[in-house]
Amino acid sequence: MTTKRFWLYHAFVATLACLFAGPASDADDIACHAASPPHRIALLELYTSEGCSSCPPADARLRQLPAKGLDQTKVIPLSLHVDYWNTLGWPDPYSDAMYTERQREQVRINGLRTLYTPQFVLSGEDFRPWSFWDRLRKRVAEINRVPAQADIRLAASLAKTDRLRVSGVARARDPSARQRIRAYLALYESRLTSEVTAGENATHVLNHDYVVRTLIGPLAFNAQGEADLSRSLRLQSGWKPEHSGVAAFVQQLDTGEILQALALPLCAAR
């Protein structure tokens, strides 16, 4: 079996695994699987904050992606809430200093002078066109036509506990590139709502999707050109698996280019 057919087969199996998973007993895990295709999937990062009055429209754009024909087989959205707005009237409950540091690195790679919100980064490139949807569709299509330079496999088992067991691997197609690339694993959650009582968005109810709750990385590749994505993640009280998922991506260190990305929505108990 060729490499292309191998990954197409596993992507097909991944779809079947979620579509035909039957009811699980109380002792069973609910498992899903996914494998990346031979071509690249785009990664769309949004750097945002609940303390930023211009951020809610950007948050809404992430929710609109599927309706615009841009589902996770084409582009994977991740919303990273930065923490530098927290001292300006409203502490964002989803913010993390790690996300701010990642944005700083993206700003440096793109040759920008300063951090700003909201900021979209599309597969490593600062993205702020006037015609957002037309340009986004065009650029995502361009990215999707490029052969992937890495392959990703993910599996997630959600037991009847507060832990999510993720197993997976990212594999560089050129093992000699292992020192120049890193892998990341993200746990995200959608359909989140906040009632903001202070700051620029005071009195507003904000809705969020694809919010990164845990980001693991950068993860190095070994001599065989593989990075281990397996982790056991604790889920906070109140999380709903049917609105959550995991995503992984491989990034070039010097250019910020995303060599491949993959999302795995969690299969929920029925």
- pLDDT for 30 equals 57
Return the exposure string of 28-47: e unless at least 16 CB atoms fall within 10 Å of the residue's CB, then b. Answer: eebbbbbbbbbebbbbbbbb
Q: Cα-flanking dihedrals φ and ψ of residue 165, to 5°? A: -95, 115
Q: What percent of the chain has pLDDT over 70?
A: 87
Within the chain, residue ranges assigned H as helices are 3-19, 55-64, 97-109, 132-144
Asked if residue 48 lies in contact with residue 19, where contact means CB atoms within 8 angstroms, the answer is no
| pLDDT higher than threshold 60 for residue 7 | no
pLDDT at 42: 98
Distance between CA atoms of 256 and 125, rounded to whole angstroms? 7
236: burial class by Cβ within 10 Å (0-12, 13-18, 19+)? exposed
Q: How far is CA 221 from CA 33, 106, 159, 175, in A?
A: 22, 21, 29, 9
Tens digit of each residue's pLDDT (9 = 90 or more) over 145-172: 999 999 999 999 876 667 889 999 999 9
Name the pTM for this structure: 0.87
| CA-based nearest residue to 249, from 241, 258, 240 | 258
**How far apart are alpha carbons 73 and 37 in whole angstroms?**
9
pLDDT digit string, tens, across residues 55-107? 999 999 999 999 999 999 999 999 999 999 999 989 999 999 999 999 999 99
Per DSSP, helices labelled H in 145-235 are none
